[in-house]
Structure 1
Amino acid sequence: MVIDWANAAAGSGVLDPALMIAIALTAKANAEPMERRHIDSFIRSFASHFDAAELRGAMPEAVALRAADANVTEKERAELLGSEWPIPEA
C-alpha cells in the first residue's frame, strides 16, 4: 500500500502513521461487521511497526485533522470520533 499526501513530510513523523489509522477508522463507517473486524486487524498489524505510546500521543491530532477534512462524511466523522483506537500496547 502506498499513500502519498501533500503533508507527509510536515510535522512529527509519527503523525503520518496516525493519519493512516484515522483514515482507516473512517472506512469502518460503511463497513459490515466482518469488514470492521478486518479493518481493526489491519490497524493493529500496521500500528505494531511503530512505538505504541508515540502513536497514541499523535492520534488526537490525526483524528482532529481527519475530522476537519471536508471530504469526510458525517457518518465517517461520527465513526472516527466515536472509535476506540485498536493500537496494541507496547
Structure 2
Amino acid sequence: MIQMSDLKSQKRMAAEIMDVGKNRVRIDPEMQDKVSEAITRQDIRNLIEGGAISKKDEKGTSKARAKHNKKQKAKGLKKRSRLLYRRGQA
C-alpha cells in the first residue's frame, strides 16, 4: 500500500489540471498503485478520465439558520405593528 505523502506531486498536478485546490482532489484508494506510477501530466489526465482521480464537491454555506432568524424577526415585526394599531399610533 502506498502512503498518501508519496502521491504529493500527483495530487498537485491533478489540482492544477482540474483547476481546484489540492484539498479537493480525491484519489481512489483502490487505484493508488496506478496513480503512484503516473509521472506526466498526460498520465494524470488519463487517470482523471478513468475515474481514479476525481474532485470533491464544493462545500456551500447553509442558509437554514439565516432563514430561521428571518422568520423569527418577521414575527416580531407583525407583533409591533399590531401593538401600534391598538394604541392608535399607526
TM-score range, shorter chain: under 0.3
Q: TM-score, normalised by structure 1?
A: 0.22
Kindly name which structure, 1 or 2, has the bigger radius of gyration based on alpha carbons. Answer: 2
Q: TM-score, normalised by structure 2?
A: 0.22
More strand by share: 2
More helix by share: 2
